[in-house]
Structure 1
Amino acid sequence: METTSKEDPFLSHFETLIDEIEINNKSSKTTIELSSSSLGTCQFTSSSSTKPPILPCPVNTLDSFAIKKSLLSSIESSGSQLTPLQLDFFSLIHNYHDMYYPNRTNTNDVGEQLRFVICLHLINHVLKTRARILSHNAKLKENPDLDYHDQGFTRPKVLIIVPFRESVRRIIDCFENLLLNTDDSEKTDQIQISHRKRFQEEYGGGEIDKQNNDGKFQRTSDEYNEIFAGNIDDHFRLGISVTRKSLKFFQSVYKSDFLIVSPVGLRTLLEKRRQKRKHKESSDNSGSDDDDNDNNKNSTDNNSSSIADFLSSIECVYIDQLDVLSMQNLDHLFYILENLNTIPQQATSKIDFSRIRHWSLNGWARLYRQLIVVSSFTSPLFLSLFHRFSTNYFGQCLIQPYFPLNGYIRPLSTFHQLFQRIPVCDPTLRFNYFIENILPRFDTSTYDHTLIYLSSYFDFVRLRNYMRTEKHKQFNYLTLSEYSTKKQVLLARNIFYHREVRFLLMTERFHFYHRYRIKGIRHILFYDLPSYGNFYPEIVHFLTLPHVEEKKTTVTTTTTRTNQTVEPSTCTALYAKEDALKLAYVLGQSAVTDLLTSDKNTHLFTNK
């Protein structure tokens, strides 16, 4: 049995019982700034008693970290060397600090580099947990009077939330490389992988259709191909148990060490359990009196803790590609995080309360939970999610986002691009301001074939319903959203190109999932700026595509001559002060301050 050093962050984090006074004393939080060439600037926030990390990482190899020897031998036998980014990142998460990293890229190897070291950390955590429990079990057999507290209420320790099945497949590849890659062939034969064939069938395949993605109807890019490579089904949940000699897939939630899920996949399971619990309670209470019903009403308040009891002892949460998850439904993600680490209301026969950690019994599990969030960009919503659920008493590492130096506006100087500041940011006030001050200006023949780009589906629905039900004005418009069928998309694009249509409403998620090249656009109006900075040039590029030119006829006194004139294409983007992060991705960090502090509300970017 491997011995574990007392300097191991695993022991110093999980075997330290924090003081209740420190929990309530939020004013003792301090923030320091660290930096490294690979990670950039890092803001570390923690209590005054927590030792801050060191950046850049002072060691060059993994031997200096408290990692299981079996994992180290697998990495050494593979011959792979960690990059400075991997070492710096691993040094932070290995010390069980919460991590927020918003600079993941989809066009190079950064995402895979981070995924590997995160998987190394998570497997190391699970193997250490299991080894410690087995070691204590052996000692208890020899001396039953010993007292050990090394468990939680349930077995699952790690929750991994990813958007697609392809992400699961790549994580499993990391697991297998760490567990199986060894020079000892006999040892490899002893490691058993259960249900491997079934996993390959359910999580493999699904390659991008090259025939329908040849660039004629869609704008292809390395970023798009990387996100949507492989199986992109977003409804799944996979339980995995890991031991030193086995890797078992498709385990039940109570027999799993890892739960790899999509937000909608786990939310569906929780809702099913909720419905079963309601049905059971209704059948049990069918013959009870009013007093019993009152008591049962109080018990329903704890339903969330009972249906999510298998999430009560989660110690590490890894959220990968948060930007892609935001294009699905973040409500599911918030719901899952809200139900983590709640004390089960009903004890099972398998719970040994004498082995449960004191801080878990006290309801402090959330204070020991590590949260790792990786995204391609940052936003106020992402930061809100991280700060809300990052409750780790060991501290939080917030990596500052990287903004392109000159943004995406400089290479697109062919067309006039107007950035207009609006005085409101609240969604309702913004909508009212838009329909009262912006929309009437564009609702003229001068602005026929105008694309209105909306990053929020709720704003899209609100504007669509307004145009549909407005009694004093009949709007000529079409719509494209993520819920549009292929037939509806084809029809809308055909009508918009060949006929006189005033507006085309398009959601950001529609562009994210399909990347269609919309022809016929003469003007673009950004209701708000795109979440992805690179979406801005992709949308503006639509102005360079062919469109049917309108013929204007001028009658003279002697002859009738037809002069074909084309109205100059325009691009207008609306922004508020609260859109500073989006502006930084589109315009570059240097231009944001000028736009937000200027006395002028409009700024025109031209090719002159």
Structure 2
Amino acid sequence: MKPPDFQALLGQDNDNDHFMVGIKFTNRGIKLYGDFYTSDMIVGSPLGLITKIGEAEVDKEKDVDYLSSIEILIIDHADVMLMQNWSHVNTVVEQLNRLPSKQHGTDIMRIRAWYLDGQAHFYRQTVILSSHINPELNALYNQHCLNYRGKIKLECKYKGVLPKILTQARQIYERFDTESIAEADNARLKYFCEKVFPKIKDSVQHGVMIFISSYFEFVRLRNYLKSQGASFCLFGEYIKRNDISHVRGQFFRGEKKIMLYTERAHFYYRYKIRGVQNLIIYSLPERKEFYPEIVNLLEESDTMNCRVLFSRLDHLRLERIVGSTAAKRMVESEKSVFVFA
């Protein structure tokens, strides 16, 4: 049985994420699938919008000038879009409120002066709805929410999701140091290579799952394990459906010692992976509900060991999982190892 959040987002037959609809309001009702230039509202997915932008770049006869007059932008379920290609969202927002390339029959005398002066983005109202905040959303908020009347952001205090863990897993959080955001990925990989992998390599135990948040980290770890001649299998978001059963079987039977498992793969498939004896969370998940789901995969384990790597830059993710109070203590403490059981 899939979790409720999966059923709500992906459990229906119509889960197409490539769409764009123009809506026009009239005295007699509402017209759907209207022309974008005369529509009062446009509802579209990031993929649908980016496709139109791409078509306009290739075919000079086409354009996306209808994005120039957007007065209210609502980004709903932004946290779900983070599980897709967030760069599409950035590209679409950057296209808003630009001066149009054609007149499209517009009466110039009726256009507000600030539009012609290229100041329309200072008058646009932007609403971003998300279950949590992260650096990408903060960047969008800081760089593109520029209304002259100001802006406001709601921040939550979290209690954490550790009580939702059903196993007796011993969770060891290990903090590594990094000097800057630019060096964070390299510092994480270096810590894994020097402190974590040698113990995996020397152990005879199978069933080692390494959970990874981003595809970029997934590729780097895959290349490193290849260079070390490790026995491993891959379960990422781009896996073919025909290969899923084969990969899960290899891991469960012990034919492959290590499984690399990504957050997006868990988001889209939500399979229960059997055979997990040792869990290493290379990077904390964005979605807090995934953490207990992943740790609970240890229910068949004899050792119930879970190691979690984090840095001070992971504060936003950390507080959603262990709680705001504990997260503050963990990033400020002189200690670098913390245990939850």
Q: TM-score range by the shorter chain?
A: over 0.9
Alpha carbon RMSD of aligned pairs, Å? 1.7
Alignment counterpart, residue 70 of structure 2, candidates 314, 321, 331: 314
Alignment of 1:369-388 (within 5 A): 369-388=124-143
> Which amino acid in 2 is paired with 1:422?
F
C-alpha spacing 1:374/1:411, structure 2 compared with 1 (3 Å) = closer
Query: What are the Cα deviations for residues 509-557 of structure 1, in whole angstroms up to 9, with x where unaligned?
Result: 1101111000000011111111111111100100004x6xxxxxxxxxx
Instruction: For residue 571 of structure 1, report the CA deviation from its aligned partner.
Output: 0.2
Aligned to 2:6: 224
- SS of equivalent to 1:269: helix
Say if 2:191 is the partner of 1:408: no
Conserved 8 A contact 2:176-2:310: yes
Say if 2:112 is the partner of 1:357: yes
> Which amino acid in 1 is paired with 2:329?
D
Say if 2:171 is the partner of 1:417: yes
Conserved 8 A contact 1:416-1:604: yes
Aligned to 2:42: 259
Partner Cα distance (1:274, 1:397) in 2:
35
Partner Cα distance (1:446, 1:366) in 2:
59
Gaps of 5+ in 2: none
Aligned to 1:151: none
Partner Cα distance (2:205, 2:124) in 1:
54
- SS of equivalent to 2:192: helix
Aligned to 2:100: 344
Number of paired residues? 335
C-alpha spacing 1:396/1:515, structure 2 compared with 1 (3 Å) = same
Query: What are the Cα deviations for residues 550-594 of structure 1, in whole angstroms up to 9, with x where unaligned?
Result: xxxxxxxxxxxxxxxx5x220011110011111111101121122
Alignment counterpart, residue 456 of structure 1, candidates 202, 214, 217: 214
Query: What are the Cα deviations for residues 32-88 of structure 1, in whole angstroms up to 9, with x where unaligned?
Result: xxxxxxxxxxxxxxxxxxxxxxxxxxxxxxxxxxxxxxxxxxxxxxxxxxxxxxxxx
Partner Cα distance (2:164, 2:89) in 1:
37
Aligned to 2:256: 501
- SS of equivalent to 2:314: helix
Aligned to 1:398: 153
C-alpha spacing 1:316/1:374, structure 2 compared with 1 (3 Å) = same
Say if 2:331 is the partner of 1:596: yes
Aligned to 2:309: 574
Partner Cα distance (1:229, 1:502) in 2:
32
Percent identity, aligned pairs only?
33
> Which amino acid in 1 is paired with 2:175?
R
Aligned to 1:436: 194
Instruction: For residue 458 of structure 1, report the CA deviation from its aligned partner.
Output: 1.1
Partner Cα distance (2:64, 2:200) in 1:
50
Gaps of 5+ in 1: 1-214, 281-305, 548-565
Aligned to 2:55: 272
Partner Cα distance (1:449, 1:229) in 2:
29
> Which amino acid in 2 is paired with 1:252?
D
Instruction: For residue 344 of structure 1, report the CA deviation from its aligned partner.
Output: 1.7
Query: What are the Cα deviations for residues 265-295 of structure 1, in whole angstroms up to 9, with x where unaligned?
Result: 1111111111112xx7xxxxxxxxxxxxxxx
- SS of equivalent to 2:69: coil
Instruction: For residue 411 of structure 1, report the CA deviation from its aligned partner.
Output: 4.8
Instruction: For residue 432 of structure 1, report the CA deviation from its aligned partner.
Output: 3.2
Alignment of 1:327-342 (within 5 A): 327-342=83-98
Conserved 8 A contact 1:378-1:401: no
Instruction: For residue 443 of structure 1, report the CA deviation from its aligned partner.
Output: 2.1
- SS of equivalent to 1:251: coil
Alignment counterpart, residue 225 of structure 2, candidates 440, 452, 467: 467
Conserved 8 A contact 1:449-1:500: no
> Which amino acid in 2 is paired with 1:463?
L
> Which amino acid in 2 is paired with 1:433?
Y
Conserved 8 A contact 1:443-1:502: no
TM norm structure 1: 0.53
Conserved 8 A contact 2:177-2:187: no
Instruction: For residue 229 of structure 1, report the CA deviation from its aligned partner.
Output: 4.3
Partner Cα distance (2:247, 2:164) in 1:
30
Partner Cα distance (1:393, 1:444) in 2:
60
Instruction: For residue 446 of structure 1, report the CA deviation from its aligned partner.
Output: 4.6
Bigger CA radius of gyration: 1
- SS of equivalent to 1:253: coil
Partner Cα distance (1:361, 1:431) in 2:
49
Aligned to 1:18: none
Conserved 8 A contact 1:308-1:340: no
> Which amino acid in 1 is paired with 2:236?
S
Partner Cα distance (2:322, 2:296) in 1:
16
Alignment of 1:447-596 (within 5 A): 447-468=205-226, 470=227, 473-545=228-300, 566=302, 568-596=303-331
- SS of equivalent to 2:51: helix
- SS of equivalent to 2:30: strand
